[in-house]
Structure 1
């Protein structure tokens, strides 16, 4: 299956030979793609409780089963996989050997809503969103927390609520220099930019674009890739510069491959790739 990304040609993000390629279908709901140091891509099939690995050779294997109903993923600098494991509303750190360390499951002794998406800053500070999406595998039927918010986790175990002024926070990504953080309010159809301070706190919250997103990624030029109706690309000024049509509604996206020039897209029961002229960050 292939679909030409015509809308991208004039912007130079990809070229006329680029084809959207189906990697595999038959999943239940794919999410959370994240890339390791070598360029291998990991993603989740949340309802089936699995984390998959799509390696740099193009081979697809199961990395972990009974994966905490993991959703969003991101690798830290040590090569650990940070996972939003909302089966029991936790944030996990998964080592290369599969050993799981549960980092967070509450805020001020109250159960989290269900960590959804995550980004790790160069300093090691972990930022994650905590919206409430009712799951059929939960015993509870309402949230314990009154707000859906953005949090940080630091290595000393401190969990800080950074911003609770959302309808439903979801997608999150930061710049590789650790200066800026982007967070989408998917139910308010907005994406915000923050300035990251040295202590991990956030200032200067500003509206970046009037579009929400489930997951998101960024390339080396600082362009932001939002999901939903295909993939919409914005430059650093918040100007829409491209759109990648995708057959299914998209949930998340990342760059992978040896050269970080392969865009990997999760789209409900399918996952796709697209060869790019631009590269993702390392």
Structure 2
């Protein structure tokens, strides 16, 4: 399928779960999609074999983004509890990070985990009440494994409201959604930061400047390294959509969505299905988005 035919395609999103309240953070664990319903403080699972959606974890204090580590353990960014935590198999929870240099975190939003166990997470403060902030910055931080716990380090020094974060397949690039909206400091960009041999970030490349349009919320990678980003809104610009960037970072197409998309992941038995969460509280799906050889068709 050519880029031209993709641009002319009529994309059919199938609603497979919901509506709930506001869904986020989808991850595929090999058998099911795990995702959050933020306002109701629940983590849910959708099993495509049965079509059933069930509650996995309740009382999450508005968990948002989720991620799995190399051992399949589930981690979440807890907006209301202002921490990053791990959900253990026995039902307990382990605090991974709740402070930086002695100050409480703002409200962790999204995370991505490297093969070395380092957890990169965004720490913005979207809530109107800024008086509770103990940090004087909104940055991407790293929870570095240290014995039985973690050390928290600062990764970005040039973000003002980071949202989605994602490591490239080779873990040499960190993608960051910079989403500061209030003028006169508005800056909504999709950025790519090179990761140096020492683990620090270099100067970023702007993959897309969203201007007055709604910027990126969550992101995922296709098997070939193409980046898919949930972005846009009905107020203007290109509308609510999934923006697709080829492995060379070229913006190649937009897949329209019905409402504001929040996050997305690939899943299914062959890893070819795209799952999407959104502001309507649904989990939606496009089946067989990528080719049988797991390469992207754009």
Query: Structures share a fold, TM > 0.5?
Result: yes
What's the offset of the Cα at 1:239? 2.0
SS of residue in 2 equivalent to 1:259: coil
Q: Residue 56 of structure 1 contacts residue 258 of structure 1 at CA under 8 Å; is this kept in 2?
A: no
RMSD: 2.4
What's the offset of the Cα at 1:196? 2.1
Q: Aligned equivalents of 1:273 and 1:8: distance in 2?
A: 21
Q: Aligned equivalents of 2:75 and 2:139: distance in 1?
A: 18
- Ranges in structure 2 where 5+ consecutive residues have no aligned partner: 181-186, 232-239
Q: Residue 17 of structure 2 contacts residue 46 of structure 2 at CA under 8 Å; is this kept in 1?
A: no
User: Residue in 2 aligned with 1:3?
Assistant: none
Change (3 A) 1:92 1:70: same
Q: Residue 93 of structure 1 contacts residue 102 of structure 1 at CA under 8 Å; is this kept in 2?
A: yes
- Tell me, yes or no, if structure 1 residue 22 matches structure 2 residue 33: no
My pick for the range that moved more, 140-149 or 59-68, is 140-149
**Which residue of the other structure, out of 35, 53, 69, is the alignment partner of 1:76?**
69
User: Residue in 1 aligned with 2:142?
Assistant: 152
- Equivalent runs, 1:43-192 vs 2, <5 Å: 43-57=35-49, 58-134=51-127, 141-156=131-146, 157-187=150-180, 188-192=187-191
User: Residue in 2 aligned with 1:4?
Assistant: none
User: Residue in 2 aligned with 1:196?
Assistant: 195
Change (3 A) 1:204 1:186: same
What's the offset of the Cα at 1:141? 4.3
What's the offset of the Cα at 1:146? 1.0
- Ranges in structure 1 where 5+ consecutive residues have no aligned partner: 1-6
SS of residue in 2 equivalent to 1:53: strand
What's the offset of the Cα at 1:16? 6.2
**Which residue of the other structure, out of 34, 42, 52, is the alignment partner of 2:34?**
42
**Which residue of the other structure, out of 26, 29, 32, is the alignment partner of 2:25?**
32
TM-score scaled by length of structure 2? 0.83
Can you list the C-alpha shifts for 1:115-161, whole angstroms capped at 9, x where unaligned?
Answer: 000000122111000000217xx9x7441111110111111111111
Q: Residue 79 of structure 1 contacts residue 95 of structure 1 at CA under 8 Å; is this kept in 2?
A: no
Change (3 A) 1:214 1:280: farther
- Name the count of aligned residue pairs: 269
**Which residue of the other structure, out of 253, 261, 272, is the alignment partner of 2:264?**
253
What's the offset of the Cα at 1:98? 2.9
What's the offset of the Cα at 1:61? 1.1
User: Residue in 1 aligned with 2:230?
Assistant: 227
Q: Aligned equivalents of 2:156 and 2:295: distance in 1?
A: 27
Q: Aligned equivalents of 1:131 and 1:17: distance in 2?
A: 35
TM-score scaled by length of structure 1? 0.88
User: Residue in 1 aligned with 2:204?
Assistant: 205
**Which residue of the other structure, out of 253, 264, 271, is the alignment partner of 2:283?**
271
User: Residue in 1 aligned with 2:248?
Assistant: 237
What's the offset of the Cα at 1:199? 4.1
What's the offset of the Cα at 1:273? 0.5
What's the offset of the Cα at 1:78? 1.0
Change (3 A) 1:240 1:199: same
What's the offset of the Cα at 1:164? 2.7
Q: Aligned equivalents of 1:262 and 1:93: distance in 2?
A: 26
My pick for the range that moved more, 40-49 or 205-214, is 205-214
